[in-house]
Structure 1
Amino acid sequence: MLIRETPIFIDGPQGQLEALYLDTAEARGVALICHPNPVQGGTMLNKVISTLQRTARDAGFVTLRFNYRGVGQSAGSHDMGNGEIDDAQAAAAWLCRQHPDLPLTLLGFSFGGFVAASLGGRLEAAGQSVRHLFMIAPAVMRLGPEHSLPVGGTLTVVQPETDEVVDPALVYAWSEQLQRPHELLKVAECGHFFHGKLTDLKDRVLPRLSN
């Protein structure tokens, strides 16, 4: 049976946010998925985001992916920072209101890795736990002192070894100095957008979501 996501709109800080929502019977958790750089064409329909959504679905999660302000049919204009984190927070709040008893997992790709990580820290500071955080080829250079990662839950970083957008050395150095426990998974002969390697990405994320 083909399971399709439902197009919805969520109230965001600058107006409506366009989103795709998939409910799942007897779900093990809810997963919010954050897309890459909107200024460089990133949307919730990006193929890496679509792969992460299908992976979370296959692991038994309710899923929500959304467009940041100024992307697709989402209202507002790009902020390239805290504004997109605010959008993600609004999306997470909506998702958690639908399923208040289910744990939250955050997944983000590229710029979305920065957004998901920052959101996780913000939610934890407000008293909400994050069970899993997945940062895929994350834009760690955007993480400043004001952006704290969550301390609780599990953290998995997946980094392509031949990434042409995010310098792998930056991610490796960031991982080395990171104080909290985490897992760094490297994908050999793989560029930023996982061309020909989407199955490798799913193979790394799925078993960790299923634990």
Structure 2
Amino acid sequence: MPEVIFPGPEGRLEGRFAPAPKPRAPVALILHPHPSSGGTMNNRIVQELYKTFQRRGFATLRFNFRGVGRSQGTFDNGIGELSDAASALDWVQSFHPEAQQTWVAAPSFGAWIGMQLLMRRPEIRGFISIAPPANLYDFSFLAPCPASGIIINGEADEVVTPSGVQRLVDKLRTQKHITIHHDTIPGANHFFEHEMDPLMASVNNYLDMRLDPNCPIK
């Protein structure tokens, strides 16, 4: 799990990078929750996502947005953080220019950034959005959503309302040519404090399905 420092739009960005074990391996970018609520690349969900993709042979990067940890710059309300994410993806792709798949995965604020990133980067073919803050941020940019993915939320989330997430899922499911999976974890709050196992089971079941060579979702 090598520590890395790479260039971002406002200075250096700090990350942890797991190189892929073989050429043409897929790429995964993991984003973290809102810095004002203590979100960093060391968030528990972020670390679990990182380990999941690493075990599957992805070239996997998690990093701190600007102003977090040793990353330079100051918080920019999502605008600069989207640029940070694009720079991070560029950096990983510089080592794996022939990657056959690119994924983005994140909880909360990071999920909002990640879904904006997939609108800009057509090479992203899958996403995992955990507790996307559909009641707090505007997701209307997903018009249309260019990739299939899974949205997971907690039944007892006190920050992101389950009804708000359901409206986002329903909206995306009206679009053609993509498939949106949706799991609700019983009893889970916004941080999945006591439901990490069922959360990651949902993630891994979805990845098992999507990464199967016979999966009809491309």
Q: Does the alignment pair 1:105 with 2:100?
A: no
Distance 2:57 2:129 in 1: 20
**What does 1:1-211 correspond to in 2, within 5 Å?**
5-26=1-22, 28-102=25-99, 103-124=101-122, 129-140=123-134, 141-145=136-140, 147-148=141-142, 151-178=145-172, 179-180=174-175, 181-210=179-208, 211=211
- Which secondary structure state, in structure 1, belongs to the residue aligned with residue 153 of structure 2? strand
Identity of counterpart residues, as a percentage?
Answer: 33
CA positional deviation for 1:196:
1.9
Comparing 87-96 and 174-183, the one that deviates more: 174-183
The root-mean-square deviation of aligned C-alpha atoms, in Å, is: 1.6
- Which secondary structure state, in structure 2, belongs to the residue aligned with residue 194 of structure 1? coil
CA displacement, residues 36-70 of structure 1 (integer Å, 9 cap, x when unaligned): 00111100000010111111122221210000000
Distance 2:68 2:146 in 1: 31
- Which secondary structure state, in structure 2, belongs to the residue aligned with residue 63 of structure 1? strand
TM (norm. structure 1) is: 0.90
CA displacement, residues 69-123 of structure 1 (integer Å, 9 cap, x when unaligned): 0000000000121111110000001111111111210001100000100001011
Corresponding letter in the other structure for 2:94: R
Residues 130, 150 of structure 1: 8 Å contact kept: no
Distance 1:77 1:24 in 2: 31
CA positional deviation for 1:153:
3.3
Aligned length: 202
- Which secondary structure state, in structure 1, belongs to the residue aligned with residue 87 of structure 2? helix
Runs of at least 5 residues in structure 2 that lack an aligned partner in the other structure: 212-218
Residues 112, 139 of structure 2: 8 Å contact kept: no
| Residue 110 to residue 189, structure 1, CA distance change in 2 (3 Å) | same
